[in-house]
Amino acid sequence: MKATVHVFLKPGVLDVQGKAVENALHGLGWSGVSGVRVGRVIEFDVAADSKAAAEAQVKAMCEKLLANTVIEGYRAEVA
């Protein structure tokens, strides 16, 4: 099964990278842009007997390594 994990800084945690990208977009003339957040997408294949089992594995991976829940939130999809 294919897993896709999206990791973003939590709201309230300063995303300086997002801020820099936002400033660059403004500089290019897109003055209507606001609230840019830069995160990461992690994709991988996972072997499991069922979708639920795969989801449980992926959640554990997120909690242990893929996201730092002190500062980041995540959204995982298995298909």
State yes or no: residue 16 binds another protein (CB under 8 A): yes
Contact region with another protein (CB under 8 A), list: 25-33, 44-52, 58-66: 58-66
At 22 the three-state DSSP class reads: helix
Residue with smaller CB distance to another protein, 13 or 60: 13
As a whole number of angstroms, the distance between CA 71 and CA 10 comes to 6
**Among the listed residues 28, 47, 70, 79, the single contact to another protein using CB under 8 A:** 70
Contact region with another protein (CB under 8 A), list: 28-36, 43-51, 53-61, 67-75: 67-75
CB 13 within 8 A of CB 73: no
Residue in this structure with the two tokens 């973003």, named with its chain if needed:
8
Give least dist CB 49 to another protein, A: 26
Which 8-state DSSP code applies to residue 41? E
